[in-house]
A and B are shown apart, each in its own frame.
Chain A
Amino acid sequence: AQTVTQSQPEMSVQEAETVTLSCTYDTSESDYYLFWYKQPPSRQMILVIRQEAYKQQNATENRFSVNFQKAAKSFSLKISDSQLGDAAMYFCAYRSPNFGNEKLTFGTGTRLTIIP
């Protein structure tokens, strides 16, 4: 079974600075999908960014980018120019490519605080 580990329960960053959230995972599959979700105080689960394992290029969405290291099984999220609205819980998630259960396996989350 796959596991996802987020080793930083809490992080803080000064507004306008850059912060990196860590995520590692364990799998024996060669192809899979990785996601970062944001959960603000409203509790909504909002997709931030996604990465297909077969793509070597790191995904980027505006101020959000990932550093995907397949051999190391690492999938970190970098937030540039941090804004107050980025304050949230961030979850890393893994999804198997196998047809059937489209289950997301989540990490335990990192709570990000933005310091004005």
Chain B
Amino acid sequence: EAQVTQNPRYLITVTGKKLTVTCSQNMNHEYMSWYRQDPGLGLRQIYYSMNVEVTDKGDVPEGYKVSRKEKRNFPLILESPSPNQTSLYFCASTKTGRGNQPQHFGDGTRLSIL
């Protein structure tokens, strides 16, 4: 089954404690991206990757890091989380250069930073 898998689905943690949200896709997609969803703001892009070892900032990259060492994985790293990073996070993937193709989303990760 084609899917994007995120882990964990829920996490409550404290300010400053480094955390990683994993994302893996089994569709051999070149492009992967992270979004955060906040009430009244919709989804906003954090970082994206066009292929292995190629990453770039999205609209709200502050406080986040990513890496793309393998095509299937695209982890999101919060090195020193703060309460304003409490949000719902989505990983997405798609084939590059086919604009009408849908992005496949993971099931979301609810992060609470206390």
Contacts and interface: CB of A to CB of B under 8 A. Distances in A.
Indicate whether A and B interact.
Answer: yes
B24 interface: no
Nearest to A96: B99
Nearest to A32: B99
A44 B108 contact: yes
A8 to B, nearest CB: 13
B108 A43 contact: yes
A75 interface: no
Contacts of A101: 45, 48, 50, 56, 58
Contacts of B107: 42-44
Given A35-B102, A44-B107, A108 B58 contact: no
B43 A104 contact: yes
B44 interface: yes
B78 interface: no
